Amino acid sequence: MLMAAAACGGNDDSTSTATSEASSSAAPAGAALKVGLAYDIGGRGDGSFNDAAARGLDKAVAELKADKKELEAAAGETDAQKEERLRLLASNGYNPVIAVGFAYSESLKKVAPEFPDVKFAIVDDDAATGANISNLVFAEEQGSFLVGVAAALKSEKGSVGFVGGVDVPLIHKFQAGFEAGAKAVKPDIKLQSKYLTQPPDFGGFNDPAKGKTAAQGMFDSGADVVYQAAGGSGSGVFEAAKAAGAMAVGVDSDQAALPAYADVKDVIITSMIKKIDVAVFDFLKHAADGTVQSGKTVYDLKADGVGYSTTGGKIDDITSKIDEYKQKIISGEITVPSS
């Protein structure tokens, strides 16, 4: 489900000096914000990516007194269905409309020009651009670097693994950051990686059985920490870690704290947090104030858009070391590769 596509970048300077004047016409002052949100496959309750977006929306509903309408994507749907979903939200008076996930890129490109007065935002994609589109993207490689540091410090066997859901550019960022972080601590560390499916088969984000098998293979061949960026397949990685008495690193949300993973929380030493909730809430706050900027906003370590979690206290002894690397990344001393 989630992520990907960012690779088509190159449009960094599409900072299109947004026409935020138009926004005031859509929402009369004092009236409640009507927010439309379209989830990617997995939807609310996926314990990962979509849930993070849902938290941002919930916060906005509570603090900004916004109205909300949420629609979910189905597995294997076409772009036409996604277009229809966005159109439905926009034509029913929802403004702004948020599309969660790069999968909406093509659809948003088509729908956004049809509703010039509606503010659109898309998470994880900077390929769909327009005067009324805000691209909320993250520096996943920076957050992944930090959990790579944590994994390498915690690994007793000097061997760590990475399980990616689908072999797409966005997930490559997770892997690149993680491996760079692990190598920064132990240059001779053994690295393994596996992508569960190849695009256009996005089933790899939804197949815990495959995630489990792949992680088992890594544990059997010597790894003792595995980082997963595999959406719904991640629960299989946690199961495998539990069965092998090994460790795992979560992704997107603070997964050790989620009720969905209560049974396996002991093996999750940390999670790479991608603060989609912050990004979504920021965007909605700007929408409420009428100060929406179109174009790309990058949420990186400096902007506190990515980070790592400490729930469970498994990495309390090494947080100072991780934070050293964090400062180096923020100051620019370390540049994290993104592919």
Partner 1 sequence: MSGQAEGTTTAPAPAGGARATSPARRFRVTTPILLLGGVGLVVLLSAVRIVTGASDITSGGTVAAALGLAVPIGLAALGGLWSERAGVVNIGLEGMMVLGTWFGAWGALQFHSPWAGVVAGAVGGALGGAIHAVATVTFGVDHIISGVAINIVGVGFTQYLSKLVFEKMPGGGTKNSPQLPEMGRLSVTFIDGPLRTLEAKQWFLLSDFAGILRGLTQGVSWFTILAILLVPLSYYILWRTAFGLRLRSCGERPVAAESLGVNVYLYKWAAVVVSGLLAGLGGAFLSIVAAGIYRDGQTGGRGYIGLAAMIFGNWRPGGLAGGAALFGYTDALQLRQGGVSVHALLLVVALLLAAMAVYQLVRQSRTVAALITAGCAALVFVVFMMTDTVPEQFTTFTPHLTTLLVLSLASQRLRMPAADGIPYRRGQTT
- Which chain residues interact with partner 1 by CB under 8 A? 41-47, 51, 72, 74-76, 167, 194-198, 203, 206-210, 212-214, 216-218, 220-221, 232, 235-236, 239, 258-264
Nearer to partner 1, 85 or 326 (CB): 85
Residue 321: which of 147, 79, 105 has the closest Cα? 147
Structure tokens at 135: 């691209």
Q: How far is the CB of 300 from partner 1 (least distance, A)?
A: 28
Find the shortest distance in angstroms from Cβ 102 to partner 1.
18
| Least distance from partner 1 to the Cβ atom of residue 180, Å | 19
Q: Find where tokens 């197949």 sit.
A: 207
Count the Cβ atoms, other than its own, within 10 Å of residue 267: 26
Pick 75 or 80: Cβ nearer partner 1 = 75
- Closest to partner 1 by CB, 184 or 257: 257
Please give the structure tokens belonging to residue 307. Answer: 């980070």
Q: How far is the CB of 18 from partner 1 (least distance, A)?
A: 34
User: Nearest approach, Cβ of 188 to partner 1 (angstroms)?
Assistant: 19
Amino acid at 18: A
Residue 336, classed as helix, strand or coil, is coil
Q: Which is nearer to partner 1, 149 or 215 (CB)?
A: 215
Q: Residue 81: how many CB atoms within 10 A of its CB?
A: 12
We find the least distance from the C-beta atom of residue 244 to partner 1, in angstroms, to be 10
DSSP code string of 231-298: GGGHHHHHHHHHHHT-EEEEEES-GGGSGGGGGGGGGEEEEEEE-HHHHHHHHHHHHHHT-PPPEEEE
Residue with Cβ nearer partner 1 (94 or 195): 195
Residue 236 or 295 having the CB closest to partner 1: 236
**C-beta closer to partner 1: residue 99 or 128:** 99
Burial (CB < 10 A; 0-12, 13-18, 19+), residue 71, is middle
Cα 281 to Cα 38, 98, 196, 250, 284: the distances in Å are 15, 11, 32, 23, 5
Q: Please tell me what DSSP assigns to residue 92.
A: T
CA angle 206, 209, 210 (to 5 degrees): 75
CB of 97 vs partner 1, minimal distance in Å: 20
